[in-house]
A = this chain, B = another copy of it.
Amino acid sequence: MDSSVPRRVHLDNGGRAPWHPLAREAFLQALDDGWADPRRLHAEGRRAARLLDGAREAVAAVLGARTEEVRFTHSHTAALHRAVQAGAAGRRRAGSGIVVGASERAAVLHAADAAGERVTVGVDRFGRADADAFGAALARPGVALAALQHANGEVGTRQPVEQVHEAARAAGVPLLVDAGASLGHAHVAGTWDLLAADPADWGGPAGIGVLAARGRVRLADDGPEDPEPWAPGGVSVPLAFAAAVALESVQSDLAAAGARRRQLVDRIRAAVTEVPDVEVVGDPDSRLPHVVTFSFLYVDGEALVTELDRQGFAVGSGSACTASTLEPSHVLAAMGVLTHGNVRIALDRGTSPEDVERFLAVLPAAVGRVREALGVQGL
């Protein structure tokens, strides 16, 4: 490679990352063996069905679930929609309340609004829901479902899922755990009744999601006419297989990859505070190993993303779940921190210390240029 053209550094690996090399291999294998419709009775169909079941089994093993408790959906968002809708409808007799954390993904908040009465539990300055407050809210009469993310993908803060699940069990309320930002990066305990996860977040494909439901959870069917209401028309078997293979692979290296990236995140957290008027957000300790987020005063997030992109660095900004619009993040707003001038770094397993140092070397000047363009002087 021409050394005068430094390679691009992609630091926006939350939600979408380059495919794990084994995912690519698995996809091509499954394309040869699993292109047919798994619902058909002939040999080609049965072979596709076996691949799909194998993929479910592999994901179930990681989750500590039974194979038949794991389904593939068309996306993580679709899994969240379906979990909230079918989970709430299946408990209609208990009531219509759906208790959620204020920093859940937009997909959960909106699905809760559509499926029942949303009861939102606030989060602290780190973005963490209070376990006691959450437990008290879900123990009130008329609650059908509760939803709490394993960790927040936008700022990295882990949620008190174990404690909340205990409270949910005591109250007899099923708990949906959104592991979309966690699975493949951190250990996810079995303290859930429903779980959603995102293959594209762990180096698997987009266009496929994971929805797990314990056998004890009653889900309402959309109707007997749709054999797969969680994925109308069925999923791509090769995508599902690639997702499972990627998950198995990243799980085998979870602790080491976590430690490696945690060090880099610590380095970033320390270095960015040297830029004037910056706020590093999220819990400094109880957090995902690969995500770090900070906000700059007097900076427009979109302009900063563009400036860093010009310098060869891809970063995220705005609300991680509605990144297109760059609307002020509802997560940052709920935390009571700066909602503009926001940068989210999500490190890939392959991000090197050199990548990080190069990024830190250009960041202060990039922020300065954006501030200058906005007419902010003397910074």
> Chain A 128-168 against B: per-residue CB contact (8 Å), 1 yes, 0 no?
00000000000000000000000000000000000000000
In-complex Cβ contact of A208 among B10, B207, B227, B309 (8 A): B207
Kindly report how many copies of this chain are found in the complex they form together.
Answer: 2
Contacts of A227 in B (CB 8 A): 322, 324-325
CB pair B35–A16 under 8 Å, yes or no, is: yes
How far is A239 from B200 in the complex, measured between Cα atoms in Å?
14
Q: How far is the CB of A255 from chain B (nearest CB, A)?
A: 26
Interface centre among A17, A76, A206, by most chain B C-beta atoms within 10 angstroms, is A206
How far is A233 from B323 in the complex, measured between Cα atoms in Å?
11
In-complex Cβ contact of A40 among B35, B76, B114, B323 (8 A): B323
| Stretch touching chain B among A41-49, A211-219, A258-266 | A41-49
Q: How far is the CB of A146 from chain B (nearest CB, A)?
A: 21
Number of interface residues of A (CB under 8 A): 63
CB pair B15–A31 under 8 Å, yes or no, is: no
How far is A259 from B278 in the complex, measured between Cα atoms in Å?
68
Cβ of A371 under 8 Å from chain B: no
Q: With A74-B78, A206-B234, A207-B235 known to touch, is A315 a contact of B35 (CB < 8 Å)?
A: no
Interface CB pairs A-B, < 8 A, 13: A12-B36, A15-B37, A17-B35, A18-B35, A37-B206, A40-B316, A44-B314, A74-B75, A75-B233, A76-B233, A77-B232, A114-B223, A207-B207
With A16-B37, A75-B233 given, name 5 new contacts (CB 8 A): A12-B40, A40-B314, A40-B316, A78-B232, A110-B223
